[in-house]
Amino acid sequence: MATSVAAPEIPQTKTPPVTLTDTAVGKVREIMATQDPLPAGLRIGVVGGGCSGFQYSMSFENQAGMMDKVFNFDGLKVFVDATSLMYLNGCTVDYVETLEAAGFKFDNPNTKSTCGCGSSFSV
């Protein structure tokens, strides 16, 4: 009689719908360290406005809201509300420094167009 042995379950690593690069996480931590009191994490969202219809928002947050999804990037909590998550699915946030400017850059595959200044978008 043959006995069957169940294969060990391999944990699935699910890719979060929003990604922060290591550079972005480092910069957020650097800025957070200057805040008093120290915030619990970073909120990323999409709000109406700008010349193309939507714009990105980033702010520090002390706790998650009822409709928030919470993601962990190397110990940094990132809060995203359910509505914003629809627009940010697949988005990567990076921190870029060039000779002309420095700031957070959103690479969002859902955008159909962006404005000339690059701070707003449409879907």
The pLDDT of residue 10 is above 50: no
Answering whether pTM is above 0.85, one says no
Output the pLDDT for position 48. 84
Pairing of strands 91-97, 18-20: parallel
Q: What's the pLDDT tens digit per position in 60-103?
A: 999 999 999 999 999 999 999 999 999 999 999 999 998 888 89
pLDDT given at position 88: 93
**Phi then psi dihedrals of residue 104, to 5 deg:** -85, 135
Instruction: Kindly list the domain boundaries of the chain, sorted by start residue.
Output: 18-110
DSSP 8-class letter at 99? S
The set of long-range contacts for 75-78, using a CB threshold of 8 Å and a minimum separation of 24, is 76/20, 76/25, 76/28, 76/29, 76/41, 76/42, 77/40, 77/41, 77/42, 78/18, 78/20, 78/41, 78/42, 78/43, 78/44
CA 21 to chain centre: 9
Q: Is the pLDDT of residue 117 over 60?
A: no
pLDDT at 5: 52
DSSP state of 82: H
- pLDDT, residue 110, reads 81
Q: What amino acid is encoded at 103 in this protein?
A: G
Pick the CATH number of 18-110 from 3.30.420.10, 3.40.50.360, 3.40.50.80, 2.60.300.12: 2.60.300.12
User: Which of 68 and 13 is assigned the larger pLDDT?
Assistant: 68
pLDDT digits (tens, 9 = 90+) for 16-27: 899 999 999 999
CA gyration radius for the chain?
A: 18
